[in-house]
């Protein structure tokens, strides 16, 4: 089993990265092969809404997103990790999501599997937010679920923590890293 972690935080080794690392450690210790893509290290242009992908399901923009497409196709499980920015995904994460328009096109315009086959894939969302109020994560979760639906990825839940703003504070949240580790183990179950 191959588990892909998409690290969407612009701040390296921050709270979201720590949670993602624990999810992937849990998956690895359950026998999965894990891979992490750090989105802030890639050159991904925004979607141009040119509709060229309607022809063959291929994005005309030749940049690092081509590697992300390949990794998504190889993955059995996807862990999308992004801290909240104004209750949504980070810009680095959202540009990657928007560039999945070509995969949406495969599914809904061309009627072919968006990730190249029909194997069962599952995905999870990992996030932290600085505020503490009801429904803090709902806008971001809606975007992640929309992405996963478009890619035929079953939504397997989320690991989210509110009131976490300062770098490193996730380590002070009782049980947070353990919860992430267990979520990674559970994600790899058949």
Q: What pLDDT, in 10s, does the model give residues 28-86?
A: 999 999 999 999 999 999 999 999 999 999 999 999 999 999 999 999 999 999 999 99
Percent above pLDDT 90 for the chain: 97
pLDDT of residue 21: 98
**Is 173 within 8 Å of 19 (Cβ atoms)?**
no
Pairing of strands 33-38, 77-81: unpaired
In DSSP notation, 91-126 reads HHHHHHHHTTHHHHHHHHTS-S-TTSS---EEEEEE
Residues 16 and 128: beta-carbon distance below 8 Å: yes
Domains and CATH numbers, the chain: 2-187 (3.40.50.360)
% of the chain at pLDDT higher than 70: 100
What's the half-sphere exposure (Cβ side, CA atoms, 13 Å) at 150?
20
Q: What is the residue-averaged pLDDT of the chain? A: 96
Residue 105 above 80 pLDDT? Answer: yes
Residue 87 has pLDDT above 90, yes or no: yes
pLDDT at position 190 over 80: no
pLDDT digits (tens, 9 = 90+) for 136-165: 999 999 999 999 999 999 999 999 999 998
């Amino acid at each position: 089993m191959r588990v892909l972690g998409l690290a969407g935080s612009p701040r390296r080794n921050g709270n979201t990265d720590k949670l993602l690392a624990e999810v992937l450690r849990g998956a690895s210790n359950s026998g999965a092969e894990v891979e992490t893509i750090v989105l802030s290290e890639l050159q991904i242009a925004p979607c141009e809404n040119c509709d060229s992908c309607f022809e063959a399901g291929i994005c005309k923009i030749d940049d690092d997103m081509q590697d992300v497409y390949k990794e998504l196709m190889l993955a059995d499980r996807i862990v999308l990790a992004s801290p909240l920015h104004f209750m949504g995904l980070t810009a680095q994460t959202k540009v990657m999501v928007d560039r999945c328009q070509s995969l949406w096109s495969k599914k809904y315009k061309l009627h072919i599997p968006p990730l190249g086959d029909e194997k069962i894939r599952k995905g999870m969302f990992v996030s932290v937010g600085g505020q503490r109020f009801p429904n803090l994560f709902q806008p971001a979760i809606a975007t992640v679920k929309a992405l996963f639906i478009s890619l035929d990825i079953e939504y397997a839940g989320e690991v989210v923590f509110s009131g976490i703003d300062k770098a490193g504070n996730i380590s002070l949240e009782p049980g947070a890293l353990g919860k992430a580790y267990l979520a990674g183990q559970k994600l790899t179950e058949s």
